[in-house]
Chains A and B, each alone.
Chain A
């Protein structure tokens, strides 16, 4: 399982990388962590004539930024780096929770957050988390910079709005307010496997304990992370725990249309989504009550 031939480039400056992509775009791929791309190259499922390694771009691209209103994760931030960041755990706990489920440390040491997002595997954890956080994606090319909302970034299995000459430069999320509580739940065959289904959820709860905002994104049940708007609608405006679990499960099951594959049937995945949504909401409620205590 050796990769096919390609020309390797290791630009030292972002501008250089963008020029290379402009020149070779259609026949090129960006290499960051390589934990998703290299297996595909080794299997020869993906073929490239030019591999643009961005790991040498270095500097600030490897450092997350925790600003007053925004948290920004640039292209070379490693999954393990953020997983072990105490500040990230405080500010974006749902991301930290999800990162712990991604594969194994050896993969997370090199895999990048932005790389996983750009790869867009429907069963991956990070796309659903950044969706539920309503992240903004910054795409850059020699032609300029543009931002895309999470809801618009993912198009299909392994397909995003990234043009061949673009790099996902960074993702940013609004710093969560203190009354936001979040949870990540997934069920996988084995520890570290892609989830049979996964749910990232967050709720903002007012002084009376009423949910003023609820966002739930499911992984592994659609070609892209799926926001469960019907469920969100059920939960918003009530207290946590007020809506019955069976009503929530039914709504979640009705809203998703997963596929059947060798691991699980569509029916199972639908049921599982309902179960995970409830477990996430229970977890959120526990956290909210603990904060209030």
Chain B
């Protein structure tokens, strides 16, 4: 239930689908996606911008959804992990994650997928050093990153 004393109407798209919702002043974008739109693939690991589990793409830029307010999403196009699969099939990056055992508990995975997706749009992944740099903005506590590096190199050619 929102704090209903002030309501802001926000419209925009998430994964290409339009939404039209009312949010209060302080609801974060992460909570909006998870609670209002029930897109629970975006996760909260730290709520201060470091772990990256909440990373989504806003108007083409990878952003921490825990550091944005839902009201700020008005008029934007947001992409979340739920929008990556193509016709119900894992996309190239997701398939590379699976093949290379780039996930264990999966909690950080959505954030990694979105960060890497945004990075790959900027250009090919040059080498391992570049892959590690691209990955360095997200934290994984399970895998030790080896599988993630391999997946990014494979998909980012």
Contacts and interface: CB of A to CB of B under 8 A. Distances in A.
Given A38-B66, A107-B64, A191-B136, A10 B6 contact: no
A8 B63 contact: no
Nearest to B46: A1
A7 B26 CA distance: 8
A127 to B, nearest CB: 19
Contact of A8 (B47, B69, B137): B69
- Most B CB contacts (10 A, CB to CB) among A7, A51, A109 go to A109
Nearest to A7: B25
| B: contact size bracket | 20 to 34
Nearest to A192: B136
A145 to B, nearest CB: 27
A8 B8 contact: yes
Given A34-B68, A38-B67, A39-B67, A107 B49 contact: yes
Interface in A1-26: 1-8, 10
Interface of B: 3, 6, 8, 25-26, 28, 31, 47-49, 52, 55, 61-64, 66-69, 71-72, 115, 118-119, 133, 136-137
3 closest A-B pairs by beta carbon, nearest first, are A104-B137, A8-B25, A39-B48
A6 B137 CA distance: 30
Nearest to B134: A105
Given A104-B137, A105-B119, A109-B62, A35 B67 contact: yes
Nearest to B49: A39
A2 B26 contact: yes
Contacts of A103: 137
Nearest to A193: B50
B49 A35 contact: yes
A250 interface: no
Contact of B71 (A10, A35, A80, A110): A10
Nearest to B61: A109
Nearest to A43: B48
Contacts of A192: 136-137
A72 B71 CA distance: 30
A189 interface: no
A8 B73 CA distance: 13
Contact of A38 (B8, B49, B52): B49
Given A7-B6, A43-B48, A106 B63 contact: yes
A8 B68 CA distance: 13
Interface in A192-216: 192
Contacts of B136: 104, 191-192
A53 interface: yes
Contacts of B52: 104, 106
A42 B66 contact: yes
B25 to A, nearest CB: 4
Interface string A39-67: 10011000000010101000000000000
Contacts of B72: 10, 34, 53, 55
B61 A110 contact: yes
Contacts of A110: 61, 63-64, 67-68
Contacts of B119: 105
- Most A CB contacts (10 A, CB to CB) among B52, B55, B67, B71 go to B67
A241 B76 CA distance: 53
28 contacts: A2-B26, A6-B25, A8-B8, A8-B25, A8-B26, A8-B71, A10-B71, A34-B67, A35-B49, A38-B66, A38-B67, A38-B69, A39-B47, A42-B47, A42-B67, A43-B48, A53-B69, A53-B72, A104-B52, A104-B137, A105-B62, A106-B64, A106-B137, A107-B64, A110-B63, A110-B68, A192-B136, A192-B137
